Amino acid sequence: MNFRLRSRARVDALSLQDNEQSLLDSYFTQLLIDDELTLERCKGRVFEGFSEPYINFPPTHKFILGTNDYVNDRIPSYTDRILFYAKDESRVRPVKYDCLWEEKSSDHKPVYGIFTLRVLEQRY
């Protein structure tokens, strides 16, 4: 996907050295205010009916290869996402949604999701 954050200011405010989870959670919530995909979904313009687990990790694009440093001339963004569709959302429960921060072989950090699915028994 090519949705981006509209502003770099909130990204630059993040100190990844600060691991206090309550501060990070608040920070990620603030980042999503500028997230184009979140905004377009809220307006009902794209991916209507799809869900996404809560994001509690830093933007996953665009990095200088071999580092955890963002490219200076681009706004870091959440270009790697997991959206899911379920007629009954109670059948899909996100357990974990995160990125592999230690991965440095790409300008993206891969994201992954772990879900619990409730499957209905099919009777023939």
**pLDDT, tens digit (0-9, with 9 covering 90-100), for 82-109:** 999 999 888 999 999 999 999 999 999 9
CA–CA separation, 69 vs 45, rounded Å?
32
Q: Report the chain's C-alpha Rg in angstroms.
A: 16
Output the pLDDT for position 107. Answer: 96
DSSP state of 88: S
Banded model confidence at residue 17, pLDDT cuts 50, 70, 90: very low
The dihedral over CA atoms of 33, 36, 40, 41, expressed in degrees to the nearest 10, equals -70
For residue range 28-87, list pLDDT tens digits in order: 888 899 999 999 999 999 999 999 999 999 999 999 999 999 999 999 999 999 999 999
**What is the residue extent of each domain of the chain?**
9-117
User: Superfamily for 9-117?
Assistant: Endonuclease/exonuclease/phosphatase (3.60.10.10)
The reported pTM is 0.83
